[in-house]
Each structure stands twice: as structure tokens, then as C-alpha cells.
Amino acid sequence: MNEISAFLKEYVFRHTSKKLDELVLEVSELDDLERTGYPCRECGQKFKYHSTRVKYVVHRTIKFLACLEMLDCYLTPQKFILITTHRYNLLH
């Protein structure tokens, strides 16, 4: 019985009600997402699982970058699109 009392004091009663309220809110938000789906931040399409949404976003990003490369455009580290208009002149 002492182990249970020690556990409750350490991990349950020690936390303030504000921390518990925050935890309850986070769990509630996750539960809502589980029931309603995880929306894509770009297009709003909903996915049943978070991992499926992540795969979708990665796939879209790879396709976007491939399209840029085909058009001789590149994404800079600051996420600006750089258009190379004189590609062949730069090589000669």
C-alpha cells in the first residue's frame, strides 16, 4: 500500500491543477483529431492517421521540388524560388 501512496503523491497529487488542465486539454485535442482526422495544413484534406498526413505532405513536397527543377527553378534555404533564366549562358 505504501508504494501506491508514494506513486499517487509523486505522479498525481504533486502536479498543480493548471498542469493537469493542460494535459486534459491536449489529450482532448488528440482525441478530437483521432475521431475527425488530421487535416493537411496546406490544403485541408483530412487523414485518419497522422503518419498518413505526413507521408502525403512529403510526397507533395517532393513533387513540388521536382516541378521546380524541371522549370530551372530552385528553392533557396530561405524558401524563395530562384528562377534561372540564363542557365545555358552560365555554363559557357
Nearest to 74 by CA among 61, 59, 66, 62: 66
Q: Compute the distance between CA of residue 57 and CA of residue 40 in angstroms, rounded to an integer.
A: 7
Q: Where are the alpha helices (DSSP H) in the chain?
A: 2-7, 17-36, 50-70, 87-91
pLDDT tens-digit map of 18-71: 777 788 888 888 888 878 888 888 888 888 888 899 999 999 888 887 877 777
| Amino acid 79: pLDDT | 67
Predicted TM-score (pTM) of this structure? 0.47
Query: What phi and psi values does residue 61 have, to the nearest 5 degrees?
Result: -65, -45
